[in-house]
Structure 1
Amino acid sequence: MKFSENWLRSHVPTTATRDELAATLTAIGLEVEAVTPLGESLDGVVVAQIVSATKHPEADRLQVCQVDIGNGDHVQIVCGAPNARAGLKAPLAMVGATLPGGMVIKAARLRGVESAGMLCSAKEIGTDIDASGLLELPADAPVGAALAGYLGLPDASIEIKLTPNRADCFGVRGIAFDVAAASASEVAAFSAAPVAPQSEATLAVELNAGADAPRYCGRVIEGIDAAAPTPLWMAERLRRSGTRPVSLLVDITQYVMLELGQPMHAFDRDKLTGPIGVRHARRGETLTLLDAREVTLDEQFLAITDASGTDESRPIALAGVMGGLDTRVTEATRTVFLESAHFAPSAIIGRGRRLGLHTDAGHRFERGVDPALPRIAMEYATQLILDIAGGAPGPVIEAALAEHLQSPQPIELRRERLARVLGLVVNDAEVERILRALGLAVAASNEGWRVTPPSRRFDLAIEEDLIEEIARIHGYDAIPTTLPAGAARLAAPSETRVDDASVRRQMAARDYLEAINYAFLDASLLETWQAGQGAVALANPLSAELGVMRTRLLPGLVAALARNVARQQSRVRLFELGKVFEERDPGLGTRDSGAAPAPVETLRIAAVACGEAAPEQWGSPARPVGFHDLKGDLESLAAASGASLEFRASQQPWAHPGRCADVLRVDAGGESQAIGCIAQLHPRLQRALDLDVEVVAFELDLEPLVARALPRARGLSKYPSVRRDLAFVVAEDVAWAELAASIRAAAGPALRDLVLFDRYQGKGVETGFKSLAMGLIVQDESRTLTDRDVEQIVADVTAALQRDHRASIRG
């Protein structure tokens, strides 16, 4: 929100300096982001009028101007501005004046012609950035008057950062209440008296959108002069608030919005049929907006329509966002239809962003506008139009759905609760002063106060809201700093789970950097990964590119890798630990709750790698990172919890065929649980993502990976272990994980360890087969195993491998 300092001071008289005012705003929660001084040091700058302008004899782009500076005095000025002309009134910096930029005006001789001063642009006097020509002043500007006094300078443009709950401060008058409370002053009276109708011209209004549009005010004003210039005082306040004047009717609606916080719109009445309607748009309807863009609407948009209730009903504006081009007002408009309405935030949120729009009206309606403001704003705008452009107003037509307009409810504020929460006692008189200065109705009670907020403060609903108001106005620095009392309960870390910090340290030890991505993604990116099923769409996304909650970590993580590769990082290794979200089965939601069930959240870990397997060095030849490098990193991570992993060949839409495996955790009983996938990215996906490097990645559910059994101490067996080395020939497509599972099941509890130490293909082994050499280490807790015991285990293992995998002992 940007506004003029002098405009704010017209609503709340305060003796605070500019710096003190900015500090006060920040201290009460309205953070000041920028203060831009305007029109400083304008002594010696006056309103002047060009009497004559003739071409400079020695320069094509210069003119020699005779300038009236009042009291019958004239000076000669050489000027190069393209709009310099006889009759123009403009600022003149006299000889000796110092302009805001530090320029000192001196008498000069330009191409042989004397010049006694300088005619100025808006940039040169420090009120705007426009330096394209002289600042043109109104025809009635008093010649010879000090420019600062005429323009209401010096001034400053103040920009504040508002939190979403302070929608009432999107108007200068709303800010004034906070300043008044903080500076122990009162807000100046504001009058928006009803304007008596002077004609019977009306336009009927129909509401057909229920709670989304519960109030709509309209008024017809005939016989206006829309070509009348915007008054200087209004144009200057708009400029200093970051809004460039356009035309009178548009400027008045903008002015009312900036002062009161109520967006308005003006239609050319002669381009309307009537009645005016408010309804949800129909799918496929089109509307050409004021910026000349044609947009296609659907049922989620709220439309203002003409000829409501008929087959010829057409959208003429996008409610709460932007008006339509066909019914806009121009300087030729003679009859205007003013709109001032209340729309529910839920009906406006995100609609502009869907169309790539961000408007001042939408920004306010999304956060909430005072439902009582439309009538007040209508009367105020009407009076401004009559004062400047004339005309005959008709009666205000107001349509309202009372059942959807909530009235403020009183809140009980307890004196004891206030003191306990703040940690200090605020005098009753100070509490009442603060609340009344903020515009709240206060009635004393035995335990404290009964407070009724105004309709503009719909953010005040519970006792804690009022306590926050007292705290910020009384001053956070007045609250004493005390240490919390009572014993703090220490939470011991669970031994049944490897903590997240240890997981992060382990990944960092394997040369990975942690990435933290948004939990939101572009829906089209998930579709590229074929991972969009079950994605949860956001009702109010930050942008169109962050429209759904992620169902996997890898799309965002690979996107981060791609950004690094695009910036000449050839070796990238990233991991992320975060949640993914999927739609919950509606049957699992709260029955009859009326609310959509919350999405299912799953904590996962993912990693991606590309480039060289090791940093550049001389000790070993360079080679690209591969599937088994990443598999080793994953097994290292699993070792922290003692998890036993199996890898089974599989296929995923995003994975390279033949280089993809499901990851399973095997428990002590031999039962396996699928926890994720490890693979190389599919070349087709890499092309779609514009990646020209091979990427290997894994993504797993974190909880089953980091779960571990409670440590149990046991003595080492005093009986010796026995090792038997065996070599089996099996089909090439048989995975080692499958063989290991069969061996452990056949060997039973006596098997202490199983080691694969050789894999051979070549002479002596039939094509399509491989030889795997392994070591079986067996041991018993209660006795020494005999040769017969060991031979029986070897026989059981051999029989199991022959039966399950058609393996044979290598001769």
Structure 2
Amino acid sequence: MRAPLTWLAEYTDLAPGATGVDVAASLVSVGLEEEDLHGGDITGPLVVGRVLEFEETIQKNGKPIRFCVVDVGHHGQMVTEGKHQEIVCGATNFEVGDLVVVVLPGAVLPGGFQISARKTYGRISNGMICAEDEIGLGHDHAGIIVLPRLLGEEHVAGVQPGDDAIALLGLGEETIEANVTPDRGYCFSVRGLAREYWHSQGSPAGGFRDPAHIETPMGNDTGFPVVLTDEAPLGGVDGCDRFVARVVRGVDASAPSPAWMQKRIAQMGMRPISLAVDVTNYVMMALGQPLHAYDLDTLTGPIVVRRARPGETLTTLDDVERSLDPEDLLITDAGDGEADTVLGLAGVMGGASSEVRDSTTNVLIEAAHFDPTSVARTSRRHRLVSEASKRFERGVDPAVPAAAAEMAARLLVEHGGGRIDPGVTDLDQTTRPAPYRLEVDETSRIVGVEYPRERVIQILRDLGAEVAESPEEGFVDVRPPSWRPDLVNDSPAPDYAEEVARIDGYNNIPSVTPTPSEGRGLTHGQKVRRVVADALAGAGFTEVLSYPFVADDLADRMMLPPGDDRRLAVRLANPLSEERPLMRTSVLASLVDVLRRNVSRGHKDVALFEMGLVFRPGGPLRRAPIPSVSGRPSGPDLEQLYAAVPAQPRRVGVLATGSAEQAGWWGAGRPVEWSDMVAAVEAVAAALVVPVVVTADADHAPWHPGRCARIALADGTVVGHAGELHPKVLTALDLPPRTVGAEIDVDVLTVASDRAVQAVSFSTFPAALTDIALLVRTDVPAGDVEAALRRGAGEALEGVSLFDVYEGERIEAGHRSLAYRLTFRAADRTLTTEEVNGFRDAAVAAATQSVGAVQR
């Protein structure tokens, strides 16, 4: 919302010598965000010019360039000696004879942009023909300013080349622009910004002059007939609870708007159009109350405010025919009773059929109060945002329509002639909010600053609230002002506390450094997560973060079998993308997208991991209750809320493709394979000092049946799976062949690692190494053989490692040879050969008994 300082000064006293920067800073101090500062920063000759001729050429890049001759008159700051100036321009939205805005050499435009004569496109350009954004008038850069189109033909009738454009467009005056938050809709007016500036100056007595405080006539039976009929489909809220209509007869609608009004409208970032439109826009900017003017002679019956009927259409003022929805609130002309005419979308935009034209002599002014929700839904439904809708959907003061209509009627008569009809329509169904019993000391408790009782009451009254003493000691009854719908709720005490703190000054709230409580450091779970991430990063994997949303058909593409609980996913009611409406049940489900994206962008060797939550409802979700916002949910409500939340275990997903070891002068490289994933999981387990058992798993999607390992704790609790993904899954997911992956349960590892690990003293005695080769059936897992060797070898065994697997000549069919290296070491002595042989024989015997191994 913009506000010229001269307009602001009419409603409130500005500090002596206050600049736009000072005023903006004052508004920031009461919670408004500064958006921009316009005007007051142009120096040098900015004049009106008339295009006399131009030569247009097309450049090599296809851009049209015009070499113009412009009459800029005789300007005192740069003596042109009456000569016409040659100016190069890249816009094409003007013709010979048009009045334009020209900045001449020596001028400085907003942002410190200095203008000088310079050579461009092979010719000297003595200045520049300006667009709106170049002089801070607006944000349009689609073409240069053509004054008759900006101000209207009648408004530039006396303008001559060489006239000062700074004064003509009001660019010498500073205009502040503030960003208005949704709860401060009253600041979408100069009235509201003036009130906030007044608060920033301490709310001095007599320092704010409310433009809405004008004498208005009471409603009577001779006004234009209006009927409010609304089925109130929006939760029982009527779409219109006040409608004021005034009639002005004998108006010369073709009369030009006064120059001061044109200038202010331009300063507000709008374009003067016609007297009736300019008046309604001016009043809207002044008071925040949108108005609409109708050609009274086009209306044949009473105005009826109602909801749209099926099949109805409306051509709005932007010449777009719109199909109406039954929830749209309409302004209609009831006609002769047989058929009615839709005049406009209430609170959004009027229709083209009843707009005021130059031939109009009788004008009906509408000033109404519409339900914010109804206007917001209509605006979004039709993708139609107007100055009116921006105000109505944030809340307009329901007490101001009569004053707005009166102000508009007076301005029309003053500048267009005619007379105001004595008939006044004012259908007022608004209700004042009930007083809220506020404990005065509660403000101090909420903010943390001691506010005297008198100070709190004074601030509330300065805000416009009615404050009365309450029968209860320490309380007052507060009724919020009509322009503050944000203070009307079941428990507004925090809102009032915020207002007191805001007006008293946020800078008066001391900055107190909090005293930290005695902490306990990281939790065990946090430590585990860090260890897991460090172990995988140390193994060469890159950590990524993906969105936990997946597609409907992902379970099919990952070949999850029917009945697999990973198919039971939570469906979002309002997903970010309709293509991904489900929450992931495994980390790999979303990690595959990251891998595919990296591969598609030319990365052939990729190794990724992600740690995050998955969502496992395990069945149909329970419906959660919707608790009241007026207080804390009850115990049973909390239980139902928690019961409706799906289980969310923490998992780690790992994916890799391409080369595990690069080729080079040192030799051939090596592609990633299933064993790399097993090694990654074992590295994580080793970092947490959690023993794991690795066994083959031939039936766990999405892994390859023959290249999938099951990782479990010693007690059989599954930690996760690792290996090569199924070729059909890779094809369905558009991933490279032989991609490998793993997924492990961090919660299981967290529980397993939450125990004291006994440190073992390192033996200084030498180790004894012995190798054995065992013949076993090919269907016997190597892990079972290793487990048997460990059981039989005894306490002196320090390590077992498989270093060779052989199948071929001199090996019985259906068997294979596994070669192990056993390491023995005693803590108190050097082991003898006889002792080591005994340990070895015991280990072999255990393997023979357990898995049928035969020593070679």
Shared fold by TM > 0.5?
yes
Alignment of 1:603 onto 2:624: no
- Letter of the structure 2 residue corresponding to residue 14 of structure 1: L
Does the Cα contact within 8 Å between 1:729 and 1:771 map onto a contact in 2? Answer: yes
The CA deviation string for residues 162-209 of structure 1, in whole angstroms up to 9 with x for no partner, is 666656656555454443322224544032857858654435432342
Alignment of 1:505 onto 2:534: yes
C-alpha separation in 2, matches of 1:93 and 1:68: 13
Does the Cα contact within 8 Å between 2:608 and 2:655 map onto a contact in 1? Answer: yes
Alignment CA distance shift 1:753-1:182 (3 Å): same
C-alpha separation in 2, matches of 1:333 and 1:516: 65
C-alpha separation in 1, matches of 2:401 and 2:523: 61
Specify the alignment match of 1:111 in structure 2: none
C-alpha separation in 2, matches of 1:637 and 1:561: 21
State the 1:635 CA deviation. Answer: 2.0
Specify the alignment match of 2:38 in structure 1: 37
Specify the alignment match of 1:369 in structure 2: 394
Alignment CA distance shift 1:573-1:184 (3 Å): farther
User: RMSD of aligned C-alpha atoms?
Assistant: 6.5
Does the Cα contact within 8 Å between 1:305 and 1:317 map onto a contact in 2? Answer: yes
Specify the alignment match of 1:22 in structure 2: 24
C-alpha separation in 2, matches of 1:768 and 1:242: 87
The CA deviation string for residues 306-356 of structure 1, in whole angstroms up to 9 with x for no partner, is 999xxx999999999x7799999797998898875224499959x95xx89
State the 1:433 CA deviation. Answer: 4.7
Does the Cα contact within 8 Å between 1:756 and 1:773 map onto a contact in 2? Answer: yes
Alignment of 1:209 onto 2:233: yes
- Letter of the structure 2 residue corresponding to residue 31 of structure 1: E
C-alpha separation in 2, matches of 1:314 and 1:762: 94
- Letter of the structure 2 residue corresponding to residue 510 of structure 1: A
Alignment CA distance shift 1:768-1:344 (3 Å): farther
C-alpha separation in 1, matches of 2:293 and 2:577: 29
C-alpha separation in 2, matches of 1:20 and 1:66: 36
Alignment CA distance shift 1:10-1:605 (3 Å): farther
Alignment CA distance shift 1:189-1:291 (3 Å): closer
Alignment CA distance shift 1:10-1:768 (3 Å): farther
SS at match of 2:677: helix
C-alpha separation in 2, matches of 1:527 and 1:356: 39
The CA deviation string for residues 506-536 of structure 1, in whole angstroms up to 9 with x for no partner, is 3332233333445667889899879885335
Choose the corresponding residue for 2:750, options 688, 703, 706: 706
Equivalent residue runs for 1:675-686 within 5 Å = 675-678=719-722
Does the Cα contact within 8 Å between 1:267 and 1:327 map onto a contact in 2? Answer: no
**Which stretch of the first structure deviates more once superposed, 427-436 or 684-693?**
684-693
% identical equivalent positions: 26
Specify the alignment match of 2:717 in structure 1: 672
Does the Cα contact within 8 Å between 1:2 and 1:241 map onto a contact in 2? Answer: yes
Choose the corresponding residue for 2:404, options 366, 377, 380: 380
Alignment CA distance shift 1:801-1:12 (3 Å): farther
Alignment of 1:649 onto 2:697: yes
Choose the corresponding residue for 2:144, options 128, 132, 136: 132
Specify the alignment match of 1:181 in structure 2: 199
State the 1:414 CA deviation. Answer: 0.8
Alignment CA distance shift 1:14-1:537 (3 Å): farther
The CA deviation string for residues 355-399 of structure 1, in whole angstroms up to 9 with x for no partner, is 896947899699x733x6357458737964885599989846677
Specify the alignment match of 1:626 in structure 2: 673
Does the Cα contact within 8 Å between 1:181 and 1:434 map onto a contact in 2? Answer: no
Equivalent residue runs for 1:348-359 within 5 Å = 352=380, 359=385
Does the Cα contact within 8 Å between 2:768 and 2:836 map onto a contact in 1? Answer: no
Does the Cα contact within 8 Å between 1:195 and 1:383 map onto a contact in 2? Answer: no
Alignment of 1:763 onto 2:809: yes
The CA deviation string for residues 659-714 of structure 1, in whole angstroms up to 9 with x for no partner, is 77475532x4x2323x5554556667767776668754444432222331421538
Alignment CA distance shift 1:25-1:617 (3 Å): farther
- Letter of the structure 1 residue corresponding to residue 809 of structure 2: K
Alignment CA distance shift 1:588-1:89 (3 Å): closer
Equivalent residue runs for 1:376-525 within 5 Å = 376=400, 380=404, 384=408, 387=411, 395=425, 409-414=436-441, 418=444, 425-426=450-451, 430-442=455-467, 447=474, 451-454=478-481, 455-458=484-487, 461-484=491-514, 488-494=517-523, 498-517=527-546
Choose the corresponding residue for 1:190, options 211, 229, 234: 211
Specify the alignment match of 1:112 in structure 2: none
C-alpha separation in 1, matches of 2:290 and 2:693: 62
Does the Cα contact within 8 Å between 1:611 and 1:624 map onto a contact in 2? Answer: yes
State the 1:288 CA deviation. Answer: 10
Alignment CA distance shift 1:221-1:464 (3 Å): closer
C-alpha separation in 2, matches of 1:624 and 1:267: 78
Does the Cα contact within 8 Å between 1:303 and 1:317 map onto a contact in 2? Answer: no
C-alpha separation in 2, matches of 1:532 and 1:237: 63
State the 1:443 CA deviation. Answer: 5.1
Does the Cα contact within 8 Å between 1:177 and 1:437 map onto a contact in 2? Answer: no
- Letter of the structure 1 residue corresponding to residue 440 of structure 2: L
Alignment CA distance shift 1:190-1:520 (3 Å): farther
Does the Cα contact within 8 Å between 1:678 and 1:699 map onto a contact in 2? Answer: yes
C-alpha separation in 2, matches of 1:326 and 1:203: 22
Choose the corresponding residue for 1:576, options 610, 614, 617: 610
Gaps (5+ residues) in structure 2?
58-65, 76-80, 118-124, 334-338, 561-565, 626-635
Specify the alignment match of 2:563 in structure 1: none
The CA deviation string for residues 14-43 of structure 1, in whole angstroms up to 9 with x for no partner, is 2232222333344444333x4243353467
- Letter of the structure 1 residue corresponding to residue 210 of structure 2: A
Alignment CA distance shift 1:810-1:37 (3 Å): same
Specify the alignment match of 1:635 in structure 2: 682
C-alpha separation in 1, matches of 2:320 and 2:567: 31
C-alpha separation in 2, matches of 1:701 and 1:356: 49
Does the Cα contact within 8 Å between 2:367 and 2:401 map onto a contact in 1? Answer: no
- Letter of the structure 1 residue corresponding to residue 394 of structure 2: V
Does the Cα contact within 8 Å between 1:216 and 1:374 map onto a contact in 2? Answer: no
C-alpha separation in 2, matches of 1:271 and 1:677: 79
Gaps (5+ residues) in structure 1?
107-114, 803-807
- Letter of the structure 1 residue corresponding to residue 39 of structure 2: L
C-alpha separation in 2, matches of 1:547 and 1:212: 33
Specify the alignment match of 2:172 in structure 1: 154
C-alpha separation in 2, matches of 1:430 and 1:26: 22
Count of residue pairs the alignment pairs up: 763
Equivalent residue runs for 1:224-243 within 5 Å = none
Choose the corresponding residue for 1:613, options 646, 652, 660: 660
C-alpha separation in 2, matches of 1:265 and 1:752: 91
Alignment CA distance shift 1:762-1:56 (3 Å): closer
- Letter of the structure 2 residue corresponding to residue 132 of structure 1: I
SS at match of 1:414: helix
Specify the alignment match of 1:537 in structure 2: 572
C-alpha separation in 2, matches of 1:510 and 1:543: 35
Does the Cα contact within 8 Å between 1:267 and 1:338 map onto a contact in 2? Answer: no
Alignment CA distance shift 1:290-1:125 (3 Å): closer
SS at match of 2:671: coil
Does the Cα contact within 8 Å between 1:212 and 1:347 map onto a contact in 2? Answer: no
Specify the alignment match of 2:628 in structure 1: none
The CA deviation string for residues 396-418 of structure 1, in whole angstroms up to 9 with x for no partner, is 66778x8xx97673432317x62
State the 1:630 CA deviation. Answer: 3.0
